[in-house]
C-alpha cells in the first residue's frame, strides 16, 4: 500500500518541485530585469546631470565672455542656461534622492533657472545687464564650476569602482546608509559646499518666487482661542459650546487655529472645520464633510448659492470667474472687484454640493493675504486706452468680451491689464495685455464648459 502510494506521490512531488524551480527562476529573471532597467535609468540620469551642470557652467562663461553691449548673445546665453538648468532639475528628480539631503543644490539650480529666465525674458536692448547682474553671473559661474568638479569626482569613482545606484536606493530606503557609501557621501559633500555659499541678491523678480508667506505678514494682533470660538460659532450659526478649538504650530511663524463642530448644516452627522490665522483671526479655509447625493441643481443655481454665501460671510464685491464640476460638486473661483476692475490675486474658491446647493468648502487664504497687501499698496492703473491695447491682439482672435483686470506678472508684481476672452485656432483663450505697454502678460487656454462670465 505504501509502495503504491509513494509511486503516485513521487512523480507528483517531482512535477511540483520542477514547477517551483521554474517559477522561481522566472521570478528571479523578471526581478533582475526590473533592477537592471532601474539601474540603467539611474546611471543615465546621474551622468546626464553631471554633463548638464558642466554645460550650465560653460554657458554662463560664454555669456560673460562677450562684450557688455552684446545683448543678443547675452539673451541667447541666458536662455541656454535656463533650458539646460531645467533639464538638470528633471534629472535630479529621477534619482533616488528623496531621503538624501540635496535640497541646497536643487534650490541653487532653481534660482539660477529663475534668474536666467527672468533676465532673458526682458528687452535687453532697452534694459541691458546691470553691473550687479554681471557680478552675480560671475559668482554663479564660480559656484557652478565647483559643483561640476565635485559631481565629476563622484562620477569618476562611480565608473572606476563600478558602483551601483540600486545599492544607494536600498541603503536610503532601509535607513542603513553605510558611512563609506561613495555616492551618498559625494552628494552630501556637494550639498554641504553649496550650503556654505553666501546668499546672492538676484533681484526682486527672483526673490518674489521664493518669498514665503506667513501669518507674520498680517499686521493684526494675535487673538485668543475664545475669540476664535466666537468667530467660528458666528460663521456656522451654532452655539459656542459646540465648537472645539486647537492651536497649530505653536511658537512658529505658521501658528494658526482650527475650530471644529459636529452636526452642522443639513446633515446632523456632518463635521465642519475652519482654519484661522493666529494674527487677526482671519478665516483662511472652511470645510464641511458630508455625503453628497445625486445632482438636482444647475450650474447657474450653484453659482448663485456660492455668491450669496460669500456675501453673507463678509466677502464683498466678489465676481465668479471660473466654474468646474466633479463628483456632483461644483467648484467656483471668485475674485474681488473694485470699480469694475477684477483683482485676480485676491481670490477665493467655493465648493458647492449639487444635491442641495449647500456650500461645503471655502479656500480663501489668497484673499486674506493679498487683501491685506492692498491696505498698504495702491492698485496699478492702466495708461493705455482699450483701442490702443486692442492693436496688439492677433487679428484672427475673435473676441467675446473684455474687461479690466489686475494680475501678478512673472516677476510677482501686480500689473494693470486688459483681459480679452475669445477664440482662435478652434480653442478658447484668455489673453491679458499690459495696460501700459500692450504686451502679453499671460495667455490661458480654457474649456467653455468650465467658464463663467459675470
Per residue, the 3-state secondary structure of the chain, as one string, reads: CHHHHHHHHHHHHHHHHHHHHHHHHHHHHHHHHHHHHHHHHHHHHHHHHHHHHHHHHHHHHHHHHCCCCCHHHHHHHHHHHHHHHHHHHHHHHCCCCCCCCCHHHHHHHHHHHHHHHHHHHCCCCCCCCCHHHHHHHHHHHHHHHHHHHHHHHHHHHHHHCCCCHHHHHHHHHCCCCCCCCHHHHHHHHHHHHHHCCCCCCCCHHHHHHHCCCCHHHCCCCECCHHHHHHHHHHHHCCCHHHCEEEEECCCCCCCEEEEEEECCCCCCCCEEEEEEECECCCEEEEEEECCCCCCCCCHHHHHHHHHHHHHHCCCCCEEEEEEEEECCEEEEEEEEEECCEEEEEEEEEEEEECCCCCEEEEECHHHHHHHHHHCCCCCCCCCCCHHHHHCCCCCCCEEEEEEEEEEECCCCCEEEEEEEEEEECCEEEEEEEECCCCCEEEEEEECHHHECCC
Q: Based on the fold, state whether residues 354 and 238 are members of the same structural domain.
A: yes
Same domain, 319 and 410: no
The residue from 319, 340, 372 where one domain ends is: 372
Query: Domain for residue 399, yes or no?
Result: yes
Residues 94 and 202 in one domain: yes
Check whether residue 251 and residue 168 sit in a common domain: no
| Predicted pLDDT of residue 359 | 93
Q: Which three cell numbers stand for residue 254?
A: 505658521
Computed over every residue of the chain, the mean pLDDT equals: 81
- The whole-angstrom separation of Cα 414 and Cα 341 is 13
Q: Which of 200-204, 272-276, 323-327 is the most confident on average? A: 272-276
Residues 343 and 436 in one domain: no
| Of 210, 225, 260, the domain-final residue | 210
The better pLDDT of the pair 7, 104 is held by: 104
Confidence at residue 454, expressed as pLDDT on a 0 to 100 scale = 40
In a domain, 31, yes or no: yes
Name the residue with higher pLDDT: 149 or 215: 149
Does the residue 380 lie in any domain?
A: no
The domain total for the chain is 3
> Do 285 and 168 share a structural domain?
no
- Arithmetic mean of pLDDT, 45-64: 89
- Identify whether residues 240 and 206 lie together within a single domain: no
357 shares its domain with 245: yes
* Residue ending a domain, choose from 311, 342, 372: 372
**Domain identity same for 174 and 251:** no
- Please report, for residues 66, 205, 317, 386, the alpha-carbon distance to residue 76 in angstroms, rounded to integers and kept in the order given: 12, 20, 45, 34
Mean pLDDT within 378-406: 92
pLDDT at residue 23, rounded to an integer: 63
The CATH code of the domain that includes 399 is: 3.10.450.40
362 pLDDT above the threshold of 90: yes
Query: Cβ contacts of residue 264 below 8 Å, gap of 6+?
Result: 236, 238, 270, 271, 272, 288
pLDDT value of residue 177: 47
Cell 465648537 -> residue: 243
Same domain, 75 and 148: yes
pLDDT given for residue 29 in this prediction: 60
Instruction: Assess whether pLDDT exceeds 80 at residue 17.
Output: no
> How many angstroms separate the CA atoms of 147 and 102, rounded?
12
Asked if the structure places residue 268 within a domain, the reply is yes
Does a structural domain hold residue 318?
A: yes
The pTM assigned to this predicted structure is 0.65
Instruction: State whether 245 and 123 are in the same domain.
Output: no
CATH number at residue 240: 3.30.310
pLDDT in tens, 142-180: 989 988 898 888 888 878 877 777 776 666 555 554 444
**Taking Cα atoms as reference points, which of 261, 144, 258 lies closest to residue 194?**
144
The reply to whether 243 falls in a domain is yes
**What's phi and psi for 97, nearest 5 deg?**
-110, 10
What is the pLDDT averaged over residues 313-326? 90
Positive/negative CA dihedral, 286, 287, 292, 294: positive
Do residues 187 and 271 share a domain? no
Alpha carbons 292 and 330: distance in angstroms, whole number? 11
| Domain that includes residue 184, residue range | 26-210
Instruction: Say if 378 falls within a structural domain.
Output: no
Q: Is residue 13 part of a domain?
A: no
Is it the case that residue 398 has pLDDT exceeding 90? yes
Amino acid at each position: 500500500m505504501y509502495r503504491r502510494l509513494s509511486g503516485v506521490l513521487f512523480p507528483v512531488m517531482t512535477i511540483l518541485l520542477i514547477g517551483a524551480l521554474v517559477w522561481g527562476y522566472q521570478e528571479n529573471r523578471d526581478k533582475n530585469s526590473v533592477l537592471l532597467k532601474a539601474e540603467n535609468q539611474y546611471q543615465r540620469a546621474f551622468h546626464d546631470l553631471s554633463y548638464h551642470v558642466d554645460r550650465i557652467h560653460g554657458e554662463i562663461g560664454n555669456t560673460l565672455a562677450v562684450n557688455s553691449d552684446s545683448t543678443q548673445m547675452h539673451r541667447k546665453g541666458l536662455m541656454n542656461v535656463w533650458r539646460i538648468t531645467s533639464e538638470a532639475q528633471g534629472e535630479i528628480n529621477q534619482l533616488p534622492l528623496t531621503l538624501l539631503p540635496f535640497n541646497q543644490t536643487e534650490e541653487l539650480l532653481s534660482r539660477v533657472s529663475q534668474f536666467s529666465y527672468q533676465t532673458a525674458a526682458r528687452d535687453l536692448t532697452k534694459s541691458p545687464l546691470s553691473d550687479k547682474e554681471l557680478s552675480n553671473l560671475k559668482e554663479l559661474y564660480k559656484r557652478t564650476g565647483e559643483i561640476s568638479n565635485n559631481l565629476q569626482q563622484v562620477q569618476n569613482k562611480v565608473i572606476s569602482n563600478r558602483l551601483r545606484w540600486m545599492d544607494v536606493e536600498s541603503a536610503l530606503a532601509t535607513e542603513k546608509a553605510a558611512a563609506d557609501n561613495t555616492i551618498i557621501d559625494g552628494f552630501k559633500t556637494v550639498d554641504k559646499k553649496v550650503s556654505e555659499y553666501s546668499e546672492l541678491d538676484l533681484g526682486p523678480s527672483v526673490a518674489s518666487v521664493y518669498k514665503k508667506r506667513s501669518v507674520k505678514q498680517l499686521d493684526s494682533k494675535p487673538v485668543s482661542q475664545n475669540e476664535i470660538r466666537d468667530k467660528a460659532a458666528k460663521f456656522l450659526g451654532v452655539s459656542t459650546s459646540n465648537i472645539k478649538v486647537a492651536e497649530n504650530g505653536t511658537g512658529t511663524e505658521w501658528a494658526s487655529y482650527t475650530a471644529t463642530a459636529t452636526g452642522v448644516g443639513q446633515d446632523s452627522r456632518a463635521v465642519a472645520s475652519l482654519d484661522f490665522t493666529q494674527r487677526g483671526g482671519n478665516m483662511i479655509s472652511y470645510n464641511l464633510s458630508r455625503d453628497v447625493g445625486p445632482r438636482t441643481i444647475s450650474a447657474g443655481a450653484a453659482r448663485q448659492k456660492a455668491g450669496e454665501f460669500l456675501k453673507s460671510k463678509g466677502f464683498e464685491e466678489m465676481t465668479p470667474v471660473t466654474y468646474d464640476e466633479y463628483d456632483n460638486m461644483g467648484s467656483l473661483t471668485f475674485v474681488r472687484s473694485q470699480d469694475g476692475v477684477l483683482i485676480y490675486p485676491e481670490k477665493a474658491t467655493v465648493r458647492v454640493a449639487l444635491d442641495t446647493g449647500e456650500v461645503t468648502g471655502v479656500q480663501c487664504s489668497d484673499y486674506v493675504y493679498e487683501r491685506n497687501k492692498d491696505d498698504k499698496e495702491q492698485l496699478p492703473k492702466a495708461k493705455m486706452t482699450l483701442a490702443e491695447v486692442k492693436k496688439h491682439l492677433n487679428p484672427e482672435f475673435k473676441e467675446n468680451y473684455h474687461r479690466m483686470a489686475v494680475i501678478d506678472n512673472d516677476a510677482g508684481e501686480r500689473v494693470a491689464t486688459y483681459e480679452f476672452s475669445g477664440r482662435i485656432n478652434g480653442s478658447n483663450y484668455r489673453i491679458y495685455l499690459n495696460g501700459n505697454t500692450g504686451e502679453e502678460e499671460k495667455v490661458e487656454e480654457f474649456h467653455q464648459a468650465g467658464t463663467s462670465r459675470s
